[in-house]
C-alpha cells in the first residue's frame, strides 16, 4: 500500500517590507498648546489607565481563583465613570475653547 501524501509546499510568506516607507517625523505631529486641554487630556489618559489596571487586576484575581474578583466590577464601574467624565470634559473644553489642533476632517470655519 503506497501512501502518496501530497507534499505541501509551504508558502514562505515573506513579510512585505515596503522599502519606500516614509519616515515621517512623528514627534512633531501635534502638540496641544492649550495647557488646560493638555491637563484634561492627561486626566483622561490616567482614567483610561486606571480602567485598564483594574481590568488587569481583576483578570489576575480570577486566574488565581479569587471568588471576590467581582468586587472589581464596582471599581471598574467607578473608573469607567471617571473616564467618561474626563473624556467629556476634554471634548467639551475643545469645543468651547476651540483650541484643538486635532483636525476632524477639513471643515474649519
* Residue of 40, 28, 48 lying closest to 97 (CA atoms): 40
As a whole number of angstroms, the distance between CA 87 and CA 95 comes to: 12
Binding flag, residue 32, Zn ion (CB under 5 A): no
30, 60, 71, 97: residue in contact with Zn ion (rule CB under 5 A): 97
Residue (61 or 100) nearer to Zn ion, CB: 100
Binding flag, residue 99, Zn ion (CB under 5 A): yes
What is the SS3 assignment for 4?
Answer: coil
Residue (41 or 51) nearer to Zn ion, CB: 41
- 77-95 exposure pattern, b = at least 16 Cβ within 10 A, e = fewer: eebeebbeebbebbeebbe
Stretch touching Zn ion by CB under 5 A, among 27-35, 39-47, 51-59, 70-78: 27-35
Contact residues toward Zn ion (CB under 5 A) are 34, 36-37, 97, 99
Amino acid at each position: 500500500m503506497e501512501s502518496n501524501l501530497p507534499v505541501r509546499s509551504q508558502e514562505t510568506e515573506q513579510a512585505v517590507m515596503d522599502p519606500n516607507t516614509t519616515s515621517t517625523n512623528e514627534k512633531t505631529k501635534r502638540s496641544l498648546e492649550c495647557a488646560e486641554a493638555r491637563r484634561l487630556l492627561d486626566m483622561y489618559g490616567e482614567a483610561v489607565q486606571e480602567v485598564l489596571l483594574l481590568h488587569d487586576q481583576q483578570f489576575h484575581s480570577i486566574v488565581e481563583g479569587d471568588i471576590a474578583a467581582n468586587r472589581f466590577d464596582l471599581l471598574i464601574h467607578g473608573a469607567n465613570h471617571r473616564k467618561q467624565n474626563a473624556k467629556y470634559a476634554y471634548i467639551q473644553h475643545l469645543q468651547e475653547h476651540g483650541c484643538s489642533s486635532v483636525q476632524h476632517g477639513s471643515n474649519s470655519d
